[in-house]
Amino acid sequence: MDQAALILLNFNAVSLYDKITNNLKQHFNLNSRTIIPDIDLRKFYSEERDQYYSTKLIEYALLNYSEFKKILMITDFDLYVPVLTFVFGEAQLNGKAAIVSAHRLYPEFYGLPPNDELFISRLIKEINHELGHTYGLRHCFNFECVMHSSSNVDEIDIKSENFCNKCLEKLNLF
């Protein structure tokens, strides 16, 4: 079983650790080593946007954790890329690294009461989606497939945490 770096960057939901690591084993056959980096985050932060630049965070991870088969960063920070208002995550297509932001996955972000079950469901879907990209999967037209594109949280809620048969077939080639 290959090993992944699970980098928790200002992500404090430690109670979800087992669910996340079990998901990595189940869907990607990955063991994970949890890392809480001690880094100066100012160079990734845009004061103008009050967000963190996900592409730069991925670059940081690749530079510092290249020995791992896959690198997954999870953060509570709100992320962006310059052409979009925000991103739930970003990944290298056919690469090694991905990042997922939990910031907009919490029901509280939308003025709703806390709902741990809904939150972890959204988080697992985004983890599977972004890691799917690192295995070469592109966005899927099947709206129930985890690789379906999500531009808002409602689209995340509609899809499954699983890959459709076509995407699963491609994933099993790796």
- Catalytic positions are 130
Reduce the DSSP state of residue 108 to 3 states and report it. Answer: helix
* CA pair distance 33, 5, nearest whole angstrom: 5
Nearest by Cα to 89 from 101, 106, 102, 107: 101
- Percentage helix, strand, coil for the chain under 3-state DSSP, each rounded to 5: 40, 20, 40
* CA pair distance 60, 62, nearest whole angstrom: 6
The full 3-state SS of 41-105, as one line of letters, equals HHHHEECCCCEEEHHHHHHHHHHHCCCCCEEEEEECCCEECCCCCCECEEECCCCCEEEEECCCC
